[in-house]
């Protein structure tokens, strides 16, 4: 017997879209995944976290084959309100040796950002938001669906701006800033 040959319906997946990624092998196998869940039939439900995940097929002789799926997360919350900020110009600041002169150079294209607000959310929703934000930090991009304007935006968190307002005991108010990638 030889190691299974895996075929995949896709190698890149945007979370919250259908169909889910699915896998097949040229022989009977047991499927496993590095994160998320996969059925005996090879249908994979990845986590809503941007990154690469390994799907493994193991045959009866314990021979293994792997394939990788890249997942682009989708922001999991619908805000109560949002507004678009003015475009920010990326800036490069240099301080001269005399430490009194600062040189400002504009570099790159303007950046768009959005402030999203969440009012009266449950503690569970806030915890889920915190988990999503903590995982993605500043370096992992994800998608945000602006349903009001029918836009799909590739974004990241902007400098971890995050504000929590004092709400009642069982509700939370918070906001964040997303910047277009």
**Cβ-based neighbours of 142, under 8 Å, separated by 6 or more:** 50, 72, 73, 74, 75, 136, 154, 155, 156
Q: In the block, which residue shows the tokens 């504000």?
A: 163
Tens of pLDDT, residue by residue, the chain (181 residues): 799 999 999 999 999 888 999 999 999 999 999 999 999 999 999 999 999 999 999 999 999 999 999 999 999 888 888 877 656 665 556 666 766 666 555 566 667 788 888 888 888 888 898 899 889 887 789 999 888 888 898 998 876 555 555 555 567 788 888 888 7
pLDDT digits (tens, 9 = 90+) for 32-67: 999 999 999 999 999 999 999 999 999 999 999 999
Q: Provide the residue range defining the domain that includes 10.
A: 6-72
Co-location of 19 and 103 in the same domain? no
Asked whether residue 1 is assigned to any structural domain, the reply reads no
This prediction has a pTM of: 0.75
Co-location of 68 and 87 in the same domain? no
How far apart, in whole angstroms, are the C-alpha atoms of residue 172 and residue 150?
27
Co-location of 122 and 149 in the same domain? yes
Q: Which two tokens stand for residue 179?
A: 């910047």
Cis peptide before 19 (omega within 30 of 0): yes
Asked whether residue 51 is assigned to any structural domain, the reply reads yes
Co-location of 68 and 88 in the same domain? no
Q: In the block, which residue shows the tokens 């806030």?
A: 126
Residue 177 burial by Cβ neighbours in a 10 Å radius (0-12, 13-18, 19+): middle
89: how many CB neighbours lie within 10 A of its CB?
12
Cross-strand partners of 153:
144
CATH number, domain containing residue 38? 2.60.40
């Amino acid at each position: 017997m030889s190691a299974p040959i895996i075929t995949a319906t896709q190698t890149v997946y945007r979370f919250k879209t259908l169909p889910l990624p699915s896998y097949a092998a040229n022989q009977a196998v047991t499927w496993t995944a590095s994160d998320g869940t996969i059925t005996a039939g090879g249908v994979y439900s990845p986590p809503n976290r941007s990154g690469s995940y390994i799907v493994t097929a193991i045959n009866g002789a314990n021979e293994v084959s792997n394939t990788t799926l890249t997942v682009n997360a989708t922001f999991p919350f619908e805000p109560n309100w949002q507004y678009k900020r003015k475009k920010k110009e990326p800036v490069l600041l240099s301080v001269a040796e005399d430490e009194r002169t600062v040189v400002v150079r504009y570099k790159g294209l303007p950046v768009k950002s959005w402030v999203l607000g969440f009012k009266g959310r449950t503690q569970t929703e806030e915890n889920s938001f915190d988990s999503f934000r903590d995982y993605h930090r500043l370096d992992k991009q994800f998608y945000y669906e602006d349903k009001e304007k029918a836009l799909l935006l590739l974004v990241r968190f902007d400098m971890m701006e995050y504000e929590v307002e004092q709400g009642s005991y069982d509700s939370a108010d918070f906001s964040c800033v997303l910047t277009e990638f």
